[in-house]
Homo-oligomer: A and B are copies of this chain.
Amino acid sequence: MSKLNEYIKELDSLNFKDMYMNDFFLTWEKTRDELMATWTVADALRYLRENNISTRVFDSGLGISIFRDNSTRTRFSFASACNLLGLKPQDLDEKKSQIAHGETVRETANMVSFMADVIGIRDDMYIGKGNKYMHEVADSVDSGFKDGILEQRPTLVNLQCDIDHPTQCMADALHCAHEFGGFENLKGKKIAMTWAYSPSYGKPLSVPQGVIGLFTRLGCEVVLAHPEGYDVMPEVEEVAKKNAKESGGKFIKTSSMSEAFRDADIVYPKSWAPFAAMEKRTELYSAGDFDGIDRLEKELLAQNALHKDWCCTEELMKTTKNGKALYLHCLPADINGVSCTDGEVEASVFDRYRDPLYKEASFKPYVIAAMIFLSKFKDPQDILKKLEERGRKRIFG
């Protein structure tokens, strides 16, 4: 099985020892080697599964998920990843529980983790809250483990926070690498991360932030385009600038969608809410000012409506590299005439890219599984080898 050996050899060349017994919060907290290791393990796990070799490394154990926002894709990706490794997904429905803030986070985190090997959390609703909450949970189980309460240390996987959406963006990047023939081929490629109009309000910032924070690591020319006032978090822009400098890439801002699309190799047109408005919303929420939230929502929808021209049209697509830029989206997209009258993308563009879009999504379960795998095994190369040797079939026969 020469292919698996290639993945193992790739891993041999990387330094990712700090991922062992560690968590995954933000891609820019990881070294380039650590990201490469994650992608390599994702590919290796996929390779084994495609060859009907079971990658079940846990004979028992729970994979806990906490979704503080509706979710289908990520919920199933997490469940798939857990199942692929042998963990039983167990959702903590906060409506049926008492998990909250302060002391109780520490307590509940430990109470549910006696047999948990991973905790996946989506908490993207309020600026300054989600990532913080995840750290509270991770710190809680980390001390639980150190204090001898937990027999194992559950790994925290960020399934989307207010800052980053690492499992999505890592899947996006792995998809691009597969489409362009490897990560080295992404160097110098122009990617347009642009705002697009949507009739809905308050979409999270974590995708555009995650994309500019990650693709600048890969030597890409990352263009962030949005109308005036639709800024993302300034500290993430700083991260993108720094990353671009280090990787030999570029980070450029513009308020012109057409400028961003011109000669782009990859386009990612997607709606999001202005950072400042999201901050204001969090304040209103904390103050319990729900009338204020309603007013803000109306203002934002009116403001959005001024930018209906920010749409990924056939015309715009023609201006990309050879008219054939790779179109990305985290899905579901707002498609003109399908899910709404005016939206993020014209139906014919979306249709043409349907297969690649679905493939893009298909990497997410493997990326999550790789994050878990790398935090659980000191010598993942050895485990991959042993899985091949064990040769247990995923489907009997």
Contacts and interface: CB of A to CB of B under 8 A. Distances in A.
Interface of A: 49-50, 54-62, 67, 70-73, 75-77, 79-80, 83-84, 86, 88-90, 92, 96-99, 102-104, 107-108, 110-112, 114-115, 117, 144, 147-151, 331-332, 335, 338-339, 355, 358-359, 361-362, 364-365, 376-377, 382-383, 386-387, 390, 392-397
Given A339-B103, A394-B60, A397-B386, A114 B70 contact: no
A362 B107 CA distance: 12
Contacts of A376: 395
B76 A90 contact: yes
A92 B107 contact: no
A305 to B, nearest CB: 23
A98 B110 contact: no
A45 to B, nearest CB: 11
A60 B362 CA distance: 17
A395 B58 contact: yes
B72 A92 contact: yes
A365 B88 contact: no
Nearest to A53: B59
Given A57-B395, A144-B358, A332-B104, A76 B377 contact: no
A326 B59 CA distance: 36
A146 to B, nearest CB: 10
Contacts of A55: 60
Given A72-B97, A108-B72, A362-B149, A59 B394 contact: yes
Contacts of A382: 397
Contacts of A331: 107, 111
Contacts of A62: 76, 79-80, 83
A71 B96 contact: yes
A75 B96 contact: yes
**This chain's copy number in the assembly:** 3
B86 A60 contact: yes
Q: Which of A60, A79, A382, A397 is most buried by chain B, counting CB atoms within 10 A of its CB?
A: A60
Contact of A60 (B61, B73, B84, B150): B84
Contacts of A84: 60, 115
Nearest to A144: B358
B396 A58 contact: yes
Contacts of A365: 114-115
19 contacts: A54-B59, A56-B60, A56-B396, A57-B395, A58-B395, A59-B396, A71-B97, A72-B111, A75-B97, A76-B114, A89-B90, A103-B335, A103-B338, A107-B358, A110-B358, A114-B364, A147-B358, A149-B359, A383-B397
A376 B96 CA distance: 31
B59 A392 contact: yes
B83 A70 contact: no
A263 to B, nearest CB: 29
A387 B335 CA distance: 49
Contacts of A332: 98, 104, 107
A61 B90 contact: no
A350 to B, nearest CB: 9
Given A338-B102, A396-B386, A147 B355 contact: yes
A70 B57 contact: no
Given A339-B104, A395-B376, A61 B83 contact: yes
B397 A61 contact: no
A367 B367 CA distance: 36
